[in-house]
Structure 1
Amino acid sequence: MNMLQRPLAACLRPLLFGTTTGLLLCCPLPAFGADPLPQDAPATATPATRPDPNKAKQLGNVTVTAQSRTQEMEQVPIPLQIITAKQIETLAATDLSKMSLFVPGLVVDGSQPTQPNYQLRGISTSDFGIGTEPAIGVYVDGVYAARSGGALLAFNDIQRIEVLKGPQGTLFGRNAAGGAISIVTNEPSDKFEGKVVARIGNDGEHYENALLNIPIDNDMALRVSVLDNQSDGWVKDQANGQHYGKNDDWGSRAVYRWNVTPDTRVLLSWDHERLDQPPRPAFGLVALSNDTNQRPPFPPDPSTYINPLTSPLYNDAINASENRQFDGSTLTVDHSFAWGSSTSTTAWRHFNTFNDEDNDGTNHIVTYLDTANIEHNNSWYQEFKLAGNSDLLDWVSGVSFYSEQARQTSQTNTNTDSLDTLAQNVDGAGLPLTEISQGLQALGLPFNLLGDPWREQISNDGNTKSYAAFGDLIWHLSDKLDLTTGLRYTLDEKKFSWYNAPRQAAAFDQTVEALQTNQVFGIPIYDLLPPQAQQALGVFGNNIIFPNAVGIPVQTSNSWHDFSPRVVLDYKFTPNLMAYASVTKGYKAGGYNSLQVGSLYAPEKVWNYEAGIKTVLPQYNLLFNASVYHYLYYNLQSSVLDPNTTGSGIPFYIVSTSNQEATGVELEAQWQPTDALRLNFTGAYIDDTYTKGTSTSGVNLAGEPTGEPFFSGTAGLAYTWHDVYNGDLEFDLQYAYRGRTRCNDDSQVQGTCLVTPYFTIGGSTQRTDGRLDWHTPGNSWGVGLFGNNIFNKRYVVSEGNDSTNVFGTPYATITSPRVWGVEFRAKF
């Protein structure tokens, strides 16, 4: 399409229409280990003793939305890390959680893909409920993924991922207070293209993806891609033979492009994904016998915990499953004028998720507990953008509207045997249901109050509308000095409701009713029971787990508004050296705790102060970037486990509010000393502490660490041998390190820090991935051997304390073992 615009506007238009990573279409930056030359370019060797300065320049060729123009990387005044399609392929990653460790400062917990957690520079939102908002914005082709249920999808025809650190609210919008992750997919091209990738590996792994790009005529093209990811799982449940850690994910994507006129383009995309696999396994930490009626010691003693990395798995959740159905469509219409560009983006997203998992790590009926999260979500997004430029300034402005309708049900499933255990451990009331049942049967009365299912649940409806207007100006004060000023106004309107349903225990209620209606000597059996027994049955006639506002619909509505500014000053000392300083504000809307009826929390706000340098040294084929930052985060919301929220001793998740501050340094280096050898290093240091906050035990957390490690980093090398069997042989090795958790007075209760004789939670983690790959010069076909976590480093990630203070059954989440396999590729 021959858009009538100047080169600056040509790269500004993707910025406006596709958000930050859209501009990367103009001039991509290779990620670590990636070949700086285009993937289809012919291989031309450069003598090792004569570095090519153009390669160093290519290391810095990257464009970002924040500046609204094409710039080499060393001239972009924001901290960012780019993940290319080649890096995704090299690491054989199927979603972002499989490779986030290679982005220092970024943590993506994908152990529950329908309820993932994103953390960047120590900032995250741990609550997955529909009443909260994430602090890290995830965007796919410029469209915001609001809910966690649709925020971690399988990679499907990805062009690149851009991780932007620090508040990105001016152009990205609401809920990017901690940063933004922008995913860009490939658009249809005018060239016929096809590609097939197949992998087979250990634990029954088989992965396939295929794409076909079809030019329809001079003005139209269609691109279709599909993927299928399957495996047998890496651990077997000894209770029922179920395999956990399985992959069962299928997705498809179709994109249609129509150049209506030389100045007008239409893009229409459709995405679909079907996920259906077992939930996250829960490894029990207390050794138990095969007698499923055995109650564990209470309270549990951490010094006797068994090692979950070597112990068998016993889970017995009746409806154990995690599944998702996702569909989405995006319509983009852009047009160029003599003075600039305009774009309209219209998007629809829909998903249903179900996640039911074991929460006691045993198969004992007397400690049975599982929880289920069920969500239904529909969202619409509309955005209009305008952009232009002159000798004095480059500008972008726009308005947007977002609407979401969400429903959520939070279930807790147990049984009357487990509630008897609760009565004994929490209330010191013995085993009332057992004693009543045994007493009745001793009298020859066939009544049993045990073995009956028990369910409690809270249902929520949420309706959100968000309106925004924004503008961003780059003032060219001189040939070397630029001043950027940006401002976004956001208005959020929310309606939210809770309904805490009366507990469901039909079989138990029928038995109690039978005791009331059946008589002995003309007297109801119920009336013959001792007063203590009648009192116990009366207690079990009500909700035990969610006791507040039972059967009473509760509704509320609130609105919040915010102005989020951005100011950046950057100076180019030379064409290859730039320094910058910035002040940015981030904002996250207020909301509600889905499990706490009537709760309300205020918006979150963060101020970030940052300075950095970006440089390329052509004579050494070296790129080096560094930044230092300090942020102040106000009213940060976290979902935490409170052992005594209800006053009954039953643990309950609440939303805790705190203020935090952090100071950090980030470094990035890429060096290509020869045509064959490429080296990379990225490191991050952060000192993140509370300035205000209280632990669940009432301890003042001010001055204590938030848990974020001091250090994290990655290092890697890639080497290419040319003319090996008429192709290129590439070796790539990447290493990632994340330091130990900085524990505080609440860490052990939350399960993020623990030291036992056999394992540690919160220690440092390491991972090494590698690939040996051969391919033809034009990449028409190739074969590769890959390994993830080559040295099989395994870690206990967290301790689940949902049932610790009730049943004495703590459980652990652990990392998966080494993955290896072989990959075959064909391209035509």
Structure 2
Amino acid sequence: MKLNQRCLVVGLRRALFGSCVLLGVSGTAWGQAAAAPDDATTLDTIKVTAQSREQELKDVPIAINVLNGEMIDQVAAADIGDLDMFVPGLEVSDGSPTQPRYAIRGISTGDFGIGTDPAVGVYIDGVYSARTGGAMLAFNDIERIEVLKGPQGTLFGRNSAAGAVSIITNKPSNVAEGNARIRVGEDGRRYLSGLFNVPFGERHALRFSALSNHSDGWMTDAATGDRLNPEDTMALRAAWRSDLGESTTLNLSWDYENIDQLARPAVGLVALDPYPAPAPYPANPLTYRNPLKAPVFNDVVHNEESRTFNGLTLQIDHAFPWGSLQSTTAVRDFDTVNREDEDGTNRINLYFDTANIESNRSYYQEFKFSGVSGKFDWVAGASWFKEEADQTSETNLFTDSVGTAMGNLPDFGGLNVIALLDQVLEGAGLPLRFQGHPWRESMVNEGKAEAYAAFGDVIWHVNDRLNLTFGLRLTHDRKEFSWFNGPREAATLDATVAMLEQQGFFELLQQMFPDFPITPDLFQRDFVFAFGELDGVRNSRKKSWTDVSPRFVVDYAINDNTMVFGSLAKGYKAGGFNSVQPQSQFDNEDVWNAEFGVKTVFPEQKLSLNASSYYYVYKDRQAISLDLNTAGSGVPRYVVDTSDMQAWGVDVDLQWRPVTGLDLTFNTSFIDATYKDGLSTNGRDISGDPTGEPYLSASFGAGYTWNLDDGGDVRFSLLHAYRGKSRCNAESETQGTCQASPAFRTGEAQNRTDMRVQWSSADGMWGVGVYGNNVFDKRYVTGVNNISASVLGTPFASISASRQVGVEFSARF
């Protein structure tokens, strides 16, 4: 069975071993146990729990990348967003830690709203993270990370149609130990972490860890000199283990995290004339500045990105004579605020920011039975999930920028009404002004979701060479969702309008401009959240979905060193609602994925070579898109579209340990992803067009250890990652993923190289390292945002980080 499933591993884990090994060049492979000293050139063993049982990675018929805690430390990674370049097929947009976007094999859902679920499931110790707001936590005492590619509906459940990221923490042990780490780097980087593990007798143990991660930021406001993208994270974790008799173990853990920093900055692309001139309109990409060289400004009122997270997990394992039972009970609670710049300027007449304010609580219960019976390995169980979420989406302007928008929108004939009225007031000698008042529009959502599932997975060892696997999960989702967009908030403006109305100002205006009625009602309208008869009315919908997701696997060992395999699996993601579009509703997603592969090992050469190919068809894929001209109004709004897509791909990975101390790894991933059936936001048929995913991504790693006998060890590691050029389509420029301007491009191929030199004492108690991330300082424009371009003429960009160099000191006791 091991050889058979190793084969499967190859194909499915194609992305796994390659990138996990790639990152693993700085020590052992990501997730590998070190080889014994007398066998230092053998390939190491990797243990995973991807199939709800502990197995060797080579025996698991799933494409997995495994990253262990040692490797996380060696690349100075703070969270999963620091590692995705080294895992071909995985992409994590981590510009906002409270609103990350995960993608696997070109499949993602980047919605910030609580009405849409992610396509990549994130699990911490087996507990599902329902919302992106709580899905990217700081690495705190992590044992390993398993990145599973392809649909994981049978084993992991709903909302893992693209794949799953499973994070496993270290558990309390019977060994008294502790460690501390200090990392100091450029831009005020200060990272502190520590943990201790204390056993209490032979049956109980406590483990506690803490970290603080701070950076001043690597971008500076050109007007104020303030740093714009700092990092400030503090995290705590406490875990308790008790052996309740010979057959029962209890693990109770608490996770806490607090983020308190500024939101991501926006780099303006348009050169501005002196104030109060508006931005050139419409914005012309031919005149855009290079954001890598442009000055950066930020004037967001109450600029903030914050999160408070609490999680409590109780896991009880009990062994029976015929198998085992695992019960997992968890509650997760977080509050986030993300108020960020949307214009890239410091002009009040162009001011625009958005805020996402979210509170979320979820509950999870799973019972899982497993056992081995004759020729069968089996897992079966049931789970329950409940979520309660509240969200407020805000758009914040000043009446100055509202006036600029009026001048650019067709409803007002190019006239900045607010600026004109202030001229009238000034000419009349009145002290009141229409400009200078804050203006807020908001959409308030409440969401409730509940899901029930029953699942089973059986491996049949037909003979010594052939294994057949069959799995099935039945899921029922039920959701309730509501919208309320009240009147816009502008208290000081309302007071000004009321005073002028009492003085007969608007009657005078009617006489002056009889063909253009200007009444107090003009200042009461919503511009962004305007839905006619639904304005000011709480409305709601409810919907349920039921799904059956199977998986079938065949793996066959041709000989002791070569295996072939094939699999067919279905993935499912629940339907949902667009949080900023009242009464919207869309269907669930379904994906069918077929995978075939071969895995071969050359023991004498200490080399493994894996290759696999896959093909999937995706139905009703949900994607959030920016519609720049909603219903002809000229006001942009995020909409959720569904489309069908398909893709085929090939993955190759190689690991080689030619001599003692030297590790070489290489992996590459090729994918051709296209729309099978779809329309762009402006109604253009994009069927047959590429989805934007690059053809090629690859990574390479090399590491060498010099043994100094009693002087310890010196380890040098080099990691290089490549991600190819994005494949553009009709939507690309609107969505900012492919922007072609004379000064810069987005979606171009990217390269990143990390290096590290680490000394460790002979007893492993002390260490000093020097690391460099992006050592060649390769910088890229990672995206263009047009949310304010169509109303204010202020597109802006995001850019990648500069080179970061630091020193690290570590101690163990």
Q: What is the TM-score with the length of structure 1 in the denominator?
A: 0.93
Contact (CA 8 Å) 1:382, 1:400: kept in 2 or not? yes
User: Are residues 534 and 770 of structure 1, via their aligned partners in 2, closer, same or farther at CA, if it must alter by over 3 Å?
Assistant: same
Question: Which of 145, 148, 158 is the equivalent residue of 1:161?
Answer: 145
Question: Which of 214, 232, 238 is the equivalent residue of 1:248?
Answer: 232
> SS of the residue aligned with 1:180?
strand
> SS of the residue aligned with 2:317?
strand
Match of 1:554 in 2: 539
- 1:458 lines up with 2:443 in the alignment: yes
Question: Which of 357, 363, 378 is the equivalent residue of 1:380?
Answer: 363
> SS of the residue aligned with 1:620?
coil
The Cα shift of 1:307 comes to: 1.0
Question: Which of 20, 25, 44 is the equivalent residue of 1:58?
Answer: 44
Question: Which of 602, 617, 624 is the equivalent residue of 2:587?
Answer: 602
Match of 2:787 in 1: 802
Match of 1:541 in 2: 524
User: Are residues 36 and 734 of structure 1, via their aligned partners in 2, closer, same or farther at CA, if it must alter by over 3 Å?
Assistant: closer
Letter aligned with residue 488 of structure 2: R
Question: Which of 265, 269, 279 is the equivalent residue of 1:281?
Answer: 265
User: Are residues 346 and 44 of structure 1, via their aligned partners in 2, closer, same or farther at CA, if it must alter by over 3 Å?
Assistant: closer
**Distance between the aligned counterparts of 1:555 and 1:723, measured in 2?**
69
**Distance between the aligned counterparts of 1:545 and 1:668, measured in 2?**
49
Match of 2:174 in 1: 190
Match of 2:288 in 1: 305
Match of 2:309 in 1: 326
- 1:656 lines up with 2:648 in the alignment: no
User: Are residues 340 and 634 of structure 1, via their aligned partners in 2, closer, same or farther at CA, if it must alter by over 3 Å?
Assistant: same
1:646-685 paired onto structure 2 within 5 Å:
646-685=631-670
User: Are residues 436 and 775 of structure 1, via their aligned partners in 2, closer, same or farther at CA, if it must alter by over 3 Å?
Assistant: same
**Distance between the aligned counterparts of 2:780 and 2:515, measured in 1?**
48
Per-residue Cα deviation, 1:202-241 (whole angstroms, up to 9, x for no partner): 1110101101000011100000000000111111112344
The Cα shift of 1:621 comes to: 0.7
Match of 1:11 in 2: none
Aligned sequence identity (%) = 47
The Cα shift of 1:502 comes to: 0.6
The Cα shift of 1:519 comes to: 4.3
**Distance between the aligned counterparts of 1:43 and 1:708, measured in 2?**
38
Per-residue Cα deviation, 1:22-80 (whole angstroms, up to 9, x for no partner): xx9xxx9896315449999999766xxxxx5x853525x43443384634x33322111
> SS of the residue aligned with 2:349?
helix
Tell me whether 757-766 or 427-436 shows the greater mean CA deviation.
Answer: 427-436
Letter aligned with residue 261 of structure 1: G
Letter aligned with residue 186 of structure 1: N
**Distance between the aligned counterparts of 2:146 and 2:277, measured in 1?**
52
Match of 2:183 in 1: 199
User: Are residues 381 and 692 of structure 1, via their aligned partners in 2, closer, same or farther at CA, if it must alter by over 3 Å?
Assistant: same
Per-residue Cα deviation, 1:655-713 (whole angstroms, up to 9, x for no partner): 01110000000111110001121000111000000011101122100000000000001
Letter aligned with residue 315 of structure 1: N
User: Are residues 743 and 642 of structure 1, via their aligned partners in 2, closer, same or farther at CA, if it must alter by over 3 Å?
Assistant: same
User: Are residues 503 and 352 of structure 1, via their aligned partners in 2, closer, same or farther at CA, if it must alter by over 3 Å?
Assistant: same
The Cα shift of 1:426 comes to: 1.5
- 1:340 lines up with 2:332 in the alignment: no
User: Are residues 506 and 631 of structure 1, via their aligned partners in 2, closer, same or farther at CA, if it must alter by over 3 Å?
Assistant: same
Match of 2:25 in 1: 33
Per-residue Cα deviation, 1:461-501 (whole angstroms, up to 9, x for no partner): 00000000000011111111111000000000101000011
- 1:370 lines up with 2:353 in the alignment: yes
Contact (CA 8 Å) 2:627, 2:639: kept in 1 or not? yes
> SS of the residue aligned with 1:236?
coil
Per-residue Cα deviation, 1:771-826 (whole angstroms, up to 9, x for no partner): 00010233211100000000010000111101111111110000111111000010
- 1:764 lines up with 2:749 in the alignment: yes
Contact (CA 8 Å) 1:95, 1:155: kept in 2 or not? yes
Match of 1:503 in 2: 488
Tell me whether 402-411 or 383-392 shows the greater mean CA deviation.
Answer: 383-392
**Distance between the aligned counterparts of 1:109 and 1:437, measured in 2?**
43
Tell me whether 701-710 or 444-453 shows the greater mean CA deviation.
Answer: 444-453
Match of 1:120 in 2: 104
Contact (CA 8 Å) 1:592, 1:600: kept in 2 or not? yes
Question: Which of 674, 684, 697 is the equivalent residue of 1:699?
Answer: 684
Match of 2:429 in 1: 444
**Distance between the aligned counterparts of 1:132 and 1:519, measured in 2?**
49
Letter aligned with residue 642 of structure 2: T
**Distance between the aligned counterparts of 1:230 and 1:327, measured in 2?**
20
Per-residue Cα deviation, 1:402-437 (whole angstroms, up to 9, x for no partner): 000000000000011111111111223311111122
**Distance between the aligned counterparts of 2:309 and 2:140, measured in 1?**
13
Match of 1:95 in 2: 79
- 1:412 lines up with 2:395 in the alignment: yes
Tell me whether 463-472 or 647-656 shows the greater mean CA deviation.
Answer: 647-656
Per-residue Cα deviation, 1:232-281 (whole angstroms, up to 9, x for no partner): 11111123443122110000100000001111000000000000111111
The Cα shift of 1:441 comes to: 2.5
Letter aligned with residue 241 of structure 2: R
**Distance between the aligned counterparts of 2:170 and 2:34, measured in 1?**
22
Contact (CA 8 Å) 2:192, 2:212: kept in 1 or not? yes
1:385-784 paired onto structure 2 within 5 Å:
385-427=368-410, 428-519=413-504, 525=508, 528=511, 530-532=513-515, 534-535=517-518, 537-548=520-531, 549-723=534-708, 726-784=711-769
Per-residue Cα deviation, 1:305-352 (whole angstroms, up to 9, x for no partner): 111111111111111110000000100011001110001100010000
The Cα shift of 1:505 comes to: 1.3
**Distance between the aligned counterparts of 2:322 and 2:129, measured in 1?**
32
Letter aligned with residue 541 of structure 1: Q
Match of 2:126 in 1: 142
The Cα shift of 1:646 comes to: 4.0
User: Are residues 434 and 391 of structure 1, via their aligned partners in 2, closer, same or farther at CA, if it must alter by over 3 Å?
Assistant: same
**Distance between the aligned counterparts of 2:196 and 2:503, measured in 1?**
72
**Distance between the aligned counterparts of 1:494 and 1:110, measured in 2?**
28
Letter aligned with residue 420 of structure 1: G
Match of 1:16 in 2: none
> SS of the residue aligned with 2:154?
helix
Question: Which of 241, 255, 270 is the equivalent residue of 1:271?
Answer: 255
Contact (CA 8 Å) 1:211, 1:225: kept in 2 or not? yes
Contact (CA 8 Å) 2:30, 2:68: kept in 1 or not? no
Match of 1:352 in 2: 335
Contact (CA 8 Å) 1:621, 1:671: kept in 2 or not? yes
Task: Identify unmatched segments of 5+ residues in structure 1.
Answer: 1-6, 9-19, 47-51
Task: Identify unmatched segments of 5+ residues in structure 2.
Answer: 3-11
**Distance between the aligned counterparts of 2:284 and 2:631, measured in 1?**
24
Match of 1:78 in 2: 62
Letter aligned with residue 538 of structure 1: D
The Cα shift of 1:506 comes to: 1.5
Contact (CA 8 Å) 1:208, 1:229: kept in 2 or not? yes
Letter aligned with residue 129 of structure 2: A
Q: Aligned pair count? A: 795
**Distance between the aligned counterparts of 1:734 and 1:796, measured in 2?**
22
Per-residue Cα deviation, 1:554-590 (whole angstroms, up to 9, x for no partner): 0111100000000001112223322110000000000
> SS of the residue aligned with 2:73?
helix
> SS of the residue aligned with 1:130?
coil
User: Are residues 342 and 762 of structure 1, via their aligned partners in 2, closer, same or farther at CA, if it must alter by over 3 Å?
Assistant: same
> SS of the residue aligned with 2:630?
coil
Tell me whether 734-743 or 472-481 shows the greater mean CA deviation.
Answer: 472-481
Contact (CA 8 Å) 2:183, 2:189: kept in 1 or not? yes
Letter aligned with residue 614 of structure 1: K
